[in-house]
Structure 1
Amino acid sequence: MKIKKPNLNWGDILANLLALCAFIAIGLGLWLCYIFIIKMNGFDEEVWQDRNLLGMAGEFLGGTVGPIWALAGVILFFLALIYQKRELVLQRMELHESRKIMEDQSKTIAIQQFENTFFQLLNFHINAANHIRNTKINAKAKSNNAFDELYMEFKRETDKLKKRRKADAGGMSPSDESFENTFIAVFEGYKNTFQHYLENYKALLMFIKNKSHDPSFYYNIVKSHFTEQEVQVHFFYIILVSKNKELIEVIEKYHLFQKLNERAVADVDPYHLKKVDGMAFKKED
Structure 2
Amino acid sequence: MTSKRTKLRAYFVKFLGFSTLLSVLLGFVVAYVVFVKLNVLSNDMLSDLESLSKMGEFFGGIVGPIWALAGVILFYLALIYQRKELELQREELFETRKIMDSQSQTIEIQQFENTFFKLLEFHLAASSRIESQEAGNGFEVMYKAFTKAVNDTKKRRKKDGSSEILDEEAFETCFRQVYDSYRNTISHYMESYKSLIYLVAEKSKDPNFYINIIKPHLTEQEVLLQFYYLITYNKDEKFKEIVESYGLFERLNFRSVQAIDRLHLDELKKTAYQPTKLATAEKEEKTEG
Query: Normalising to structure 1: TM-score of the pair?
Result: 0.90
Alignment of 1:127-138 (within 5 A): 127-136=125-134
How far is 1:283 from its partner? 5.0
How far is 1:269 from its partner? 3.0
Task: Pick closer, same or farther for the CA change 1:22–1:202 going to 2, 3 Å.
Answer: same
How far is 1:98 from its partner? 1.1
Q: Distance in 2 between matches of 1:46 and 1:149?
A: 131
Asked whether the equivalents of residues 176 and 271 of structure 1 are also in contact (C-alpha less than 8 Å), the reply is no
Q: Which amino acid aligns with 1:277?
A: K
CA deviations 1:256-277 (Å, max 9, x no partner) are 1111111112212322111111
Q: Secondary structure at the match of 1:122?
A: helix
Match of 1:200 in 2: 192
Match of 1:7 in 2: 4
Alignment of 1:109-124 (within 5 A): 109-124=107-122
Q: Distance in 1 between matches of 2:149 and 2:23?
A: 105
Q: Distance in 1 between matches of 2:227 and 2:214?
A: 16
Match of 1:282 in 2: 274
Q: Distance in 2 between matches of 1:44 and 1:227?
A: 117
CA deviations 1:8-42 (Å, max 9, x no partner) are 52222222211211111111001111111222227
Choose the corresponding residue for 1:84, options 76, 82, 85: 82
Q: Distance in 1 between matches of 2:181 and 2:164?
A: 28
How far is 1:190 from its partner? 0.7
> Unaligned stretches of 5+ in structure 1?
1-5, 137-142
Total equivalences in the alignment: 274
Match of 1:3 in 2: none
Structure 2 residue 242 is the aligned partner of structure 1 residue 250: yes
Structure 2 residue 270 is the aligned partner of structure 1 residue 273: no
How far is 1:48 from its partner? 6.0
> Unaligned stretches of 5+ in structure 2?
279-289
Alignment of 1:1-285 (within 5 A): 7=4, 9-41=7-39, 49-136=47-134, 143-283=135-275
Q: Distance in 2 between matches of 1:117 and 1:42?
A: 95
How far is 1:103 from its partner? 1.0
Asked whether the equivalents of residues 37 and 43 of structure 1 are also in contact (C-alpha less than 8 Å), the reply is no
CA deviations 1:41-67 (Å, max 9, x no partner) are 279977765433432232111100001
Query: Normalising to structure 2: TM-score of the pair?
Result: 0.89
Q: Distance in 2 between matches of 1:263 and 1:48?
A: 123
Q: Distance in 2 between matches of 1:48 and 1:144?
A: 126
Match of 2:287 in 1: none
Q: Distance in 2 between matches of 1:12 and 1:125?
A: 65
CA deviations 1:93-131 (Å, max 9, x no partner) are 111111111111111111111101001001111111111
Q: Which amino acid aligns with 1:7?
A: K
Asked whether the equivalents of residues 168 and 232 of structure 2 are also in contact (C-alpha less than 8 Å), the reply is no
Asked whether the equivalents of residues 22 and 72 of structure 1 are also in contact (C-alpha less than 8 Å), the reply is yes
- What is the RMSD of the two structures over their aligned residues, measured on CA atoms? 2.0
Query: Relative to structure 2, which stretch is displaced further, 164-173 or 78-87?
Result: 164-173
Q: State the percentage of identical aligned residues.
A: 43
